[in-house]
């Protein structure tokens, strides 16, 4: 992994030197890595924490935490749906950048994650009874909380699990968003050499043995020895990996360290369902696919985009799974592509960018 990371960074540097991609990709509203090292825990995370966390009752009464970041003159709103084990706090940098791009931001923590209610006695086990619960919570959030206060265009950014949850929502009747952008949506899990049928059979067997709420084999509670940012398989940015690791240490209640058999089973079933019903989606979609993703599969993403009515797929060259947590050249280009996509589908085309 280290060899690949070094090669990827070298290729990015060469591309920036000879093709001018650094200048083109540098988002003026984004925080660069040198500044991020100083600002993440002194400015960005405290800014998010300063916004009071609210909750609403999700499916079966589970408290769902959310924060809204609104300002006068915003040209619209963006709903953020995070990935597995993430949270609004983890997305502090993204929230900052979207506000600087002059959007209101609405971010919820999925059930069982972040500051939302946990579903098991052990809060570190990532679990959900059904992925449809994520969808029900997201619909309630958008229709009952966001829509009543956001009068402008409304967009959505979903990462990984958040991409799958929002895809399942888009397949239901009703046009909630002007456009949607996904970062490495989870339409299939990398089996890492294990045949899909065998992985499915193993998970199914564990469910039948009553292990749905138990860690999958090989996973357990948080272990600082295993939390090694320099070994990250989701980003080339050591700084951003270190920030994510440090956030877990500073706010331990955010920790989700391993999935349950039930969560993986749901991921397998509902990701297939999302791809199978992609033709029901009419909302314009930008799907950013991570070229070096070892977490989710690329083929189901291509299948989804081919079936959806209005989907554009762009490969994020050199990117690992967390495209919006990647090194600056990759991250900035991806974020700019998302915002340009939103601007192209806005009812008004006025573009106003705040200075960082």
Q: Residue 26: its pLDDT value, please? A: 56
User: Across-strand partners of 313?
Assistant: 287
Sign of CA dihedral 167, 171, 176, 178: positive
Task: With CA atoms as reference, report the closest residue to 244 among 120, 102, 117, 83.
Answer: 83
Structure tokens belonging to residue 251: 């706010």
State the pLDDT confidence band at 196, using cuts at 50, 70 and 90: confident
Q: Could you tell me the pTM of the whole model? A: 0.90
The model's pLDDT over 291-343, given as tens digits with 9 standing for 90+, comes to 999 999 999 999 999 999 999 999 999 999 999 999 999 999 999 999 999 99
* pLDDT(146) > 90: yes
Q: Residue 348: its pLDDT value, please? A: 64
Q: Residue 349: its pLDDT value, please? A: 44
Percent of the chain with pLDDT over 90: 83
Q: How far apart, in whole angstroms, are the C-alpha atoms of residue 52 and residue 319?
A: 34
Structure tokens belonging to residue 268: 């397998």
* pLDDT(25) > 50: no
Residues 6+ positions from 250 with CB-CB distance below 8 Å: 41
Q: Residues, the chain, total?
A: 356
Contact 336, 100 (CB under 8 A): no
**Complete DSSP assignment for 184-220:** S--SSB--TTS-HHHHHHHHHHHHHTT-TTSBPTT--
Run of H or E residues at 21: helix 21-25
Contact 162, 108 (CB under 8 A): no
Structure tokens belonging to residue 173: 């009747």
Q: Residue 19: its pLDDT value, please? A: 34
The model's pLDDT over 156-173, given as tens digits with 9 standing for 90+, comes to 999 999 999 999 999 999
Q: What is the DSSP letter of 60?
A: G
Pick the CATH number of 26-344 from 3.40.50.1820, 3.40.50.150, 3.50.50.60, 3.30.1490.440: 3.40.50.1820
State the pLDDT confidence band at 194, using cuts at 50, 70 and 90: confident
Task: With CA atoms as reference, report the closest residue to 176 among 284, 64, 306.
Answer: 284
Residues 6+ positions from 168 with CB-CB distance below 8 Å: 131, 132, 134, 135, 270, 273, 274
Q: How far apart, in whole angstroms, are the C-alpha atoms of residue 133 and residue 103?
A: 28
The model's pLDDT over 65-75, given as tens digits with 9 standing for 90+, comes to 999 999 999 99
Q: What are phi and psi of 237, to 5 degrees?
A: -85, 105
State the pLDDT confidence band at 32, using cuts at 50, 70 and 90: very high
Contact 235, 322 (CB under 8 A): yes
Q: How far apart, in whole angstroms, are the C-alpha atoms of residue 77 and residue 152?
A: 7
What is the rounded (10 degree) CA torsion for 283, 89, 272, 121? Answer: -140
State the pLDDT confidence band at 15, using cuts at 50, 70 and 90: very low
The model's pLDDT over 71-111, given as tens digits with 9 standing for 90+, comes to 999 999 999 999 999 999 999 999 999 999 999 999 999 99
Q: Residue 10: its pLDDT value, please? A: 37
The model's pLDDT over 225-245, given as tens digits with 9 standing for 90+, comes to 889 999 999 999 999 999 999
Q: Residue 292: its pLDDT value, please? A: 98
* pLDDT(2) > 60: no
In this predicted model, which residue has the larger pLDDT, 2 or 237? 237
* pLDDT(23) > 80: no
User: Across-strand partners of 275?
Assistant: none
pLDDT (average), residues 241-265: 95
Average pLDDT, the chain: 90
Domain positions in the chain are 26-344
**Complete DSSP assignment for 279-311:** GG--S-EEEEEETT-SSB-SHHHHHHHHHSSSE
Contact 320, 326 (CB under 8 A): yes
At residue 65, the 3 state secondary structure works out as strand
pLDDT (average), residues 138-164: 97
């Amino acid at each position: 992994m280290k060899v690949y990371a070094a090669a990827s960074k070298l290729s990015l540097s060469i591309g920036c030197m000879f093709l001018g991609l650094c200048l083109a990709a540098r988002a003026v509203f984004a925080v660069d890595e040198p500044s991020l090292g100083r600002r993440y825990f002194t400015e960005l995370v405290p800014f998010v924490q300063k916004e009071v966390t609210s909750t609403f009752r999700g499916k079966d009464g589970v408290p769902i935490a959310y924060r809204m970041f609104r300002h006068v003159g915003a040209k619209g709103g963006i709903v953020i749906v995070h990935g597995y084990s993430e949270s609004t706090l983890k997305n502090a940098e993204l929230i900052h950048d979207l506000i600087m791009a002059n959007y209101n931001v609405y971010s919820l923590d999925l059930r069982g994650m972040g500051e939302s209610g946990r579903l098991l006695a052990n809060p570190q086990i990532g679990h959900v009874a059904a992925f449809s619960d994520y969808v029900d919570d997201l619909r309630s959030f958008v229709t009952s909380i966001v829509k009543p206060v956001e009068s402008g265009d409304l967009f959505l950014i979903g990462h990984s699990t958040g991409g799958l949850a929002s895809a399942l929502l888009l397949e239901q009747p009703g046009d909630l968003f002007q456009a949607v952008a996904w970062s490495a949506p989870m339409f299939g899990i990398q089996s890492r050499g294990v045949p899909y049928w065998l992985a499915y059979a193993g998970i199914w067997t564990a469910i039948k043995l009553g292990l749905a709420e138990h860690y999958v084999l090989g996973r357990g509670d948080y272990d600082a020895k295993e939390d090694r940012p320099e070994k990250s398989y989701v980003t080339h940015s050591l700084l951003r990996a270190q920030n994510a690791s440090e956030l877990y240490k500073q706010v331990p209640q955010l920790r989700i360290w391993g999935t349950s058999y039930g969560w993986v089973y749901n991921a397998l079933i509902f990701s297939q369902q999302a791809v199978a019903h992609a033709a029901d989606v009419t909302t314009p979609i930008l799907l950013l696919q991570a070229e070096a993703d070892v977490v989710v599969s690329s083929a189901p993403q291509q299948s989804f985009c081919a079936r959806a009515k209005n989907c554009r797929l762009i490969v994020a060259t050199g990117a690992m799974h967390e495209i919006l947590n990647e090194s600056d050249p990759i991250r900035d280009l991806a974020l700019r592509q998302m915002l340009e996509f939103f601007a192209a589908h806005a009812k008004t085309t006025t573009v106003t960018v705040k200075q960082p």
